[in-house]
Amino acid sequence: MRYELFVGLRYLRARRRERFISLLTLISILGVMIAVVTLNVAISVMTGFEEVFRDRLLSLNAHIVLVKPASYLTGYDELAGRLEKRDDVTAAAPALTGQIILTSGPRVSGAVVRGIDPDRAPTDLEPFLQQGSLSDLKARTPVVVDGRNLLLPGIIVGDRLASQLQVGKGDALQAVSPIGSPTAVGIVPRIRRFAIAGIFDSGMREYDSGLVFLNLPDAQGFFGSGKVATSIEITVDEVAEAPVIAEEIQGAVGQRYLVEDWTRLWPNLFAALRLEKTVYFLVLLLMVLIAAFNIISTLIMVVMEKRKDIAVLRSMGASRGSIRLIFLLKGWIIGAVGTLCGVLLGYVLALLLQRYQFIELPEDVFPVSTVPVSISPLYFTLVALASLAICCLASLYPARQAARLHPVDVIRYE
């Protein structure tokens, strides 16, 4: 063991009359540890929220969407079949999107309708269905309307929309298209009845109160559009690779189509989440800076207390670099111990939050009922490196001052 490291470790253990310095060292370690724990847990929670929003959005929407600007897609089966042949694509299916007005008695609400093929649709709606299933969209549901027994096509609505219209599974809804059909007497709105085949709860207010699903042929018949689609929805094996796959598909289909991945469909939402996480990281990193000031004050106290020792070491031939290294090692050890304890304790706390979920959230505000936590080794590593860097920088000034002490002055006056 080099003597610089030996002396640096020895200075961590104070003698009886130097217990106050030893207490300051312990406080410095605890300060770094608490700052690192707080930073790791906060970043884990923010990452958890980001992944929850992403997973919910991608459960109800495709990873990649192919559209034909200002036009409908014809011959979509052949195009979807070509896309499904790619090794990195798991599903590609047509969808028809439009706006409708839903009525139930005196209650009225607008919604966005998506016509999908339940057998091929990449939408993973099943986990969010409280009642019914996607396959019920293809069946006809018997419903009694005004004393008549009718077989109506199915529709799946969000739970908030069902609550607004005060309907449940098996009830009838009347749908009105804002785009009417031209007749001899003018524009007549398209009106059709549907039976509620299912109710879903995604945890996202905008979707639960304003999104409905129809079988693709039923949507085409209702809008009178014929055998067309507004988009082809694509899911891929690796969500993170969606931007690259979208660019490859764009190059393969040409410029007459527009291909967008999920990062371009909701750029503001995910940019805001990333910015919020970055701001939290920078703000909480200030706690590490505060802990670094404790390290500075502790090392300054040690330097003042060990002036005689420094003079003796210099008289015995120790260089300025060796004296500087002794106190740098002491500061680095304090930072390393505090960082290591903070990373371990932060991991344990994040793991407890992830496993036991004892912090509840209001369900009408957040898409989850408990605090989501995602433990990322990358972020834990970045926090540890940032903490170590700050602690190392904090050790520079006291170590430099210790190296500048002249042994003659110390011996003369002390």
pLDDT in tens, 54-112: 888 887 888 899 998 888 888 888 888 888 888 888 889 899 998 899 988 888 998 99
Please tell me whether residues 294 and 399 are part of one structural domain: yes
Supply the pLDDT for residue 23: 76
Same domain for 163 and 202, yes or no, is yes
The pLDDT score that the predictor gives to residue 349 is: 92
In 266-406, alpha helices (H): 267-305, 307-315, 320-356, 377-403
Shared domain for 247 and 134, answered yes or no, is yes
pLDDT of residue 324: 79
Q: For the chain, how many structural domains are there in total?
A: 2
In this structure, how many other beta carbons lie within 10 angstroms of the beta carbon of residue 38?
17
What does the angle CA 145 – CA 151 – CA 155 come to, to the nearest 5 degrees?
90
Rounded CA separation 389/394 (Å): 9
- Mean pLDDT in the chain? 82
pLDDT above 90: residue 312: no
Cross-strand partners of 175: 102, 192
Q: Which residue type, as a one-letter code, is found at position 385?
A: L
What pLDDT is stored for residue 298 in this prediction? Answer: 80
* Residues 251 and 315 placed together within one structural domain of the fold: no
Residue at 239 is within a domain: yes
Does the residue 276 lie in any domain? yes
The pLDDT value given to residue 295: 83
* In contact, 73 and 232? CB cutoff 8 Å: yes
Shared domain check, 318 and 179: no
Residues 197 and 308 in one domain: no
343 and 389 belong to one structural domain: yes
Shared domain for 133 and 185, answered yes or no, is yes
Domain contains 402: yes
Coil, helix or strand at residue 372: coil
Within a domain: 206:
yes
Same domain, 327 and 380: yes
Same-domain pairing of 110 and 16: no
Q: Is residue 263 part of a domain?
A: no
Instruction: Point out the domain boundary residue: 224, 256, 288.
Output: 256
What confidence tens digit (pLDDT) does each residue in 193-249 have?
898 988 998 878 888 888 999 999 989 888 888 888 999 999 988 888 888 999 999
62 within a domain of the structure (yes/no):
no
Same domain, 75 and 163: yes
Last residue of a domain, one of 256, 280, 300: 256
- Whether 264 maps to a domain, the answer reads no
Tell me: pLDDT of 36 over 70: yes
Max Cα distance, the chain (Å): 114
Q: Does the pLDDT at position 348 exceed 90?
A: yes
Print the domain residue range for 141.
69-256
Report the range out of 126-140, 199-213, 324-338, 340-354 with the highest average pLDDT: 340-354
- pLDDT at residue 240, as a whole number: 83
My answer on whether 224 and 104 are in the same domain is: yes
